[in-house]
Amino acid sequence: MKSKIWAACLALLCAFDAQAALTVVADYPLATDLEDASGNYDDIILSAKAGFPEPDEPAPGLPLCQNGINITDDFGQMISTPALPTLDLTDFQIEIEFKMNAIETDQWTIFSTELDGWFGLQVYPFEGQLSAHAKTEDGYHLVRSDFLIETQRWYAAQLRYENNQLQIFLDGKMVHHAVVGELDPFNPISFRTRNTSTHHRLNGCIRNWTFSNDTSLQGVEAFYPLIEDLEDDTGNYGDVILASKTGFPAPAAPTLGNPLCHNGVFINYDDGQDIRTAWLNGITVDDFQVGAEFKLTAIDEARPVFTANLNWRWLGFLVDGDGNVGVRYQGSNVVWSDTKVTAGDWHSALLKFEGGVLHAFLDDMRVLEVITGPLDHHNSRNFTTNDGQLARALNGCIRNFTLINDTTLNYIDVLFGDSFEDNGGD
């Protein structure tokens, strides 16, 4: 299975453990000791320049920290894993929580591989950009996000690598993605809080350092990243369809750096366009969740983000002329929240349906809970960016369209991380 972006969607309420979709290679909580909680490998290794103190072991209320001094210098320190030979270097992820003491004066490594610095995560100096590096057969690649790290604050970061692509996630959100090619590793496969090639090192604290194999989207019925093509990364369905009124141009297919966008014109009008999924026959219409990320070009009148079928409109996520988000169900039924979106910014939309109750989420917060009863879908099992009743369409861009059967699976945990905030509904 090809997964261009390991994942990306919204946050959800369920108790699903993200690691259930992964194979944990090593798990170092670093809360009270240095042990691998998975039992697969030896303890974390603390070291220092000869004659100087090593980092203090973690204890309740006292995290594992490093002083930012190069281990080759007086008082220098380092934190290292043992060799992890079972890490699958074609399909893996590394998670870590970190807190930086300083970012102003140097480039600080959060972690890197032991030899040749062929893979790692770091913070750039002065501005504090979160970045990653990877060595492939054609040289080193620096993947620098626009996210700026602050000192004295805990962050949760993930590096995910699959199909020659590298993604950086921070606090459950993807902050950068790049195609880097096939990794060119050195053995042993171990990691440390120092980049051997550049001598940059950690100046701060770490915890919950976890290494896992298999970033695949288990439990996901359909996943369309819409980042660089129109494919369903699960392989279950055909491509997203780009359509238009006869004689007029369809939306341009996405490429890296150029998202998939709809011009806002309803499909039956001149210049009308449509972005729609394949027929998703595997959807369990009594227990599922569906969502996407979207960015509006403008907020002018009520429009869909996505709708379940153009004609039957048995479910949909909407935005009104004031920017309030709402839901459509059973054709003409519409309920609005008082939660607003802004034009020009990416937002996440999620609808979760089970037991006759529809929950709507925006940007990781539940904003509506509606008792709908069973949904009458008329066997119309595709999704579109048009709304036949409004005779309007999405005016903006869309990505990471995802359908998951079974609401006990946490949308974001399967895909994006495990942040979730619930404001209690409407």
Residue 9 in any domain: the answer is no
Residue 376 in any domain: the answer is yes
Looking at the chain, how many residues does it have?
426
Name the 3-class secondary structure at 18. Answer: helix
Return the structure tokens found at 37. Answer: 């909680």
240 & 183 share domain: no
User: What's the rounded Cα separation, in Å, for the pair 42 and 191?
Assistant: 13
Q: What is the dihedral of CA 23, 25, 30, 32, to 10 degrees?
A: 90
Task: Choose the final residue of a domain: 160, 192, 213.
Answer: 213
37 & 84 share domain: yes
**Which residue segment(s) compose the domain that 372 sits in?**
220-422
Return the structure tokens found at 86. Answer: 């079972």
296 & 344 share domain: yes
Task: Choose the final residue of a domain: 148, 179, 213.
Answer: 213
Whole-Å CA distances, 168 to 1, 17, 190, 198, 302: 20, 20, 20, 21, 34
117 & 261 share domain: no
160 & 101 share domain: yes
340 & 225 share domain: yes
In degrees and rounded to multiples of 5, residue 18 shows phi and psi of: -60, -30
In 68-138, DSSP assigns E strands to 77-80, 91-100, 108-113, 119-123, 129-136
Return the structure tokens found at 238. Answer: 């055909």
Residue 11 in any domain: the answer is no
pLDDT for position 215: 58
pLDDT for position 325: 98
Owner of token pair 């969607």: 9
pLDDT for position 412: 42
408 & 286 share domain: yes
Report how many domains make up the chain.
2
* Residue 369's CATH number: 2.60.120.200
Are 305 and 400 in contact by the 8 Å Cβ rule? The answer is no
Name the 3-class secondary structure at 415. Answer: helix
Return the structure tokens found at 72. Answer: 């080759």
| Residue (of 191, 220, 329, 197) closest to 280 by Cα position | 220
189 & 43 share domain: yes
Residue 6 in any domain: the answer is no
pLDDT for position 264: 97
CB atoms inside a 10 Å sphere around CB 3: 21
Owner of token pair 């595709």: 382
pTM above 0.85, yes or no: no
Residue 105 in any domain: the answer is yes
Are 99 and 154 in contact by the 8 Å Cβ rule? The answer is yes
CA atoms within 13 A on the CB side of 207: 18
Residue 181 in any domain: the answer is yes
In 149-249, DSSP assigns E strands to 155-162, 165-170, 173-179, 191-192, 203-213, 220-224, 241-244
Number of H helices, E strands in the chain: 1, 31
pLDDT for position 6: 35
Task: Choose the final residue of a domain: 185, 213, 241.
Answer: 213
Residue 270 in any domain: the answer is yes
147 & 234 share domain: no
* 10-residue mean pLDDT series, the chain (426 residues): 36 32 88 96 97 96 94 96 93 94 79 84 82 84 82 93 82 77 87 88 95 72 90 90 97 91 97 97 91 95 96 95 96 95 94 93 91 90 95 96 72 38 34
186 & 238 share domain: no
271 & 397 share domain: yes
Residue 10 in any domain: the answer is no
pLDDT for position 205: 97
164 & 309 share domain: no
pLDDT for position 408: 54
